[in-house]
A and B are shown apart, each in its own frame.
Chain A
């Protein structure tokens, strides 16, 4: 079973920030938070990951609460091409051979 919970769907206006929440209340101290997205008919695409500090890259920002029990993925200026299913995953770092457990994710619809 996935160790994260996400809202099943969200809408966002084009050009606005999309804020996608994720709860991971049972996360352990050495588990990372990963975000992937899957655009229709394509394989999942890596977005960003973090352990406890906020992270930013060219695609998005990741805000992790101080207690690490939840996080928010921020797409600062959503475009129509950001319409996808967004997956929040927690897993151990290091070479443990642990697979990624994908839950149902959040279906983000960016509206014109």
Chain B
């Protein structure tokens, strides 16, 4: 069955430090890949997406993600974290063929805390 794994439930980084949030998926083909961010009490905001082409994707707020087919991964990175980045981050996989087209599967999320 298709699945998305975010192995880190909670990560704490210092402001100004670099960040990498991990995401692995299980699917029989290369799916559509997304990263969303949710601030406390808010809805979801799309950070970036990958459908095809260049495997390094740039998003909003200085985030980027790299798709690695061999590792079935789509890790999110930011070179220098700001206190306002504290939020919960969700990786999501969009299924692309068969009767499951339209199905979007989310990981369980990684909560990011930022130390001053």
* A interacts with B: no
Chain B interface (Cβ < 8 Å from any Cβ of A): none
Chain A interface (Cβ < 8 Å from any Cβ of B): none
